[in-house]
Structure 1
Amino acid sequence: MKPTALLMCFLLVLSCTSTDLVENWKNPDMDSYTANKILIVGMTQNTHARKQFEKLLKLEYASRGVEAVMSVELFDAAFTTKKKSVEELKTIENKLIRDGFDTILLTKVIGVEDKRIYREAFVDYHTSLKTFKEDYLKHQDIFYNPDYYYQYSVYHTVSSLYCICPTKDRELIRKGYIDITDPNSMREIVKDYVRLITVVLEEQQLINPKIEPTTKEDSNEIL
């Protein structure tokens, strides 16, 4: 699915950051979708990042008039300490439906890729390095200089939106793949990640536009 002008503009803004939308899919059978009560789940061993992510996304939904619940608020710490069976997950899903939930947003890290690049810019070696001596002198740092290469990690993540509505088929609504490159500030990465998700959801008519506060007090409550 090709992003439209609004999404393209936002991606250009994020191009200087380390959060990039790689692939985006929306269920073609759904023109639009509005959640009434959504459970936000961040699957990561980093508890602080999980809480930060779920809280910011909860605020985004709240500012759009949607009731959102963080998984860290709903489940105790023991929930993530052992694997769950199909029956256990079915029981959890049925309880969520009884409690009024109709949507789950599940975000997780699906892989980490370590990369290494040469720190210097590419040059035309056909003309610039004409002798063995020149070539060797220029690149001998390979043997002993740890700064010769720049090493970094790319975290591959996926964010999926599921309908668990009791009156219709429970199905995948949308899925987006996002890469996080060489994260330095977890706080800034989470903020960029949440902004990107909400812009894409709004673009795909899967979340309502933000409700502007009518008073200063309302504005402070949202912030």
Structure 2
Amino acid sequence: MKKLLVFAILILGGCSNASLVENWKNPDNVIFTAYKVLIVGMTYNEDARADFETKLKKEFEKRNVEAMRSIDLFDVSFTDSRKSEEELDDVERQLLDKDFDAILFTKIVGSEDRKTFLKSIAEWSKYKGDFSDDYMSNQDIYYNSNYYEPFTVYHAETSLYCICEGKERSLVWRGSIDITDPEDIEKTIDKYVKLVVVAMEEQDLIFRKNSDGKGSDL
């Protein structure tokens, strides 16, 4: 039980039992390219957040895409209190001023009822919200140590948001990864990051396959 709760805090997917369940891509974005990306791992555990964001940052940098961890950009006061829509709009404006053009946002949602969760996936194509909507509706993760219950199956979501000047700041892609019975936290983080990278390569979102048509190996 304790191991499962620690895993939930870590905001990430499982070890050998992590798998990409579904991913949705905005049909308006056939190919999406970003040059500077903010990586946000939403969890109240600062060490876990830093570990996850660091590993994703390295994947971007290996592909010559500039990336920054949210833990380096948001000061302590930012996550210590809940933010209004106006405050998040101001954050997005600041990101634009710093030449960011995308946010990669990850969180965990757990559910015992798999059918209910899969039904929600079917609604993704109707989702019209933006980063601030997603952040506001989930920011309790930062403050509530009891946010996660010990579900048998964990569902992690990673969302890519465009914050490009002159374009609607909206959802470009969202992927769902299922995790069951996680054991090794370090392998869990590595597997999750690889699954996200491969999914984005397949969708031509920032990451591209190699010239030989091959992407990242799992």
TM-score (norm 1): 0.67
What number of residue pairs does the alignment pair up? 163
Distance 1:79 1:206, change over 3 A: same
Counterpart of 1:92 in structure 2 is 91
Q: Tell me by how many angstroms 1:186 deviates.
A: 1.4
Taking the aligned partners of 1:163 and 1:106, their CA distance within structure 2 comes to: 11
Higher normalized strand content (fraction of residues): 1
The aligned residue for residue 36 of structure 2 is: 37
* Residue matched to 1:55: 54
More deviation, 15-24/177-186: 15-24
Contact 1:49/1:190, CA 8 A, preserved across alignment: no
Q: Is the 8 A contact 2:111 2:151 kept in 1?
A: no
2:130 corresponding residue in structure 1: none
Which ranges in structure 1 are unaligned for 5 or more consecutive residues? 1-14, 116-150, 213-223
Instruction: Supply the AA of the counterpart residue of 1:25.
Output: W
Deviation readout 1:78-118 (Å, 9 max, x if unpaired): 32222110111001110000011000000001225499xxx
Query: Over aligned residue pairs, what C-alpha RMSD do you find?
Result: 2.4
Superposition deviation, residue 152 in structure 1: 6.6
CA 1:114–1:171 in 2, change beyond 3 Å: closer, same or farther?
closer
Question: What does the per-residue CA deviation read over 1:126-170, in whole Å, with 9 as the maximum and x for residues that have no partner?
Answer: xxxxxxxxxxxxxxxxxxxxxxxxx97322111100000012222
Question: Following the alignment from structure 1 to structure 2, what is the Cα–Cα distance between the partners of residues 69 and 210?
Answer: 22
In structure 2, stretches of 5+ residues that fail to align are 1-13, 115-149, 212-218
Question: Does residue 110 of structure 2 align to residue 111 of structure 1?
Answer: yes
Asked whether the 8 Å contact 1:162–1:174 carries over to 2, the reply is yes
Q: CA deviation at 1:47?
A: 2.2
Cα distance change, pair 27–152 in 1 and its aligned pair in 2 (3 A) = closer
Separation (CA, whole Å) in 2 of partners of 1:95 and 1:25: 28
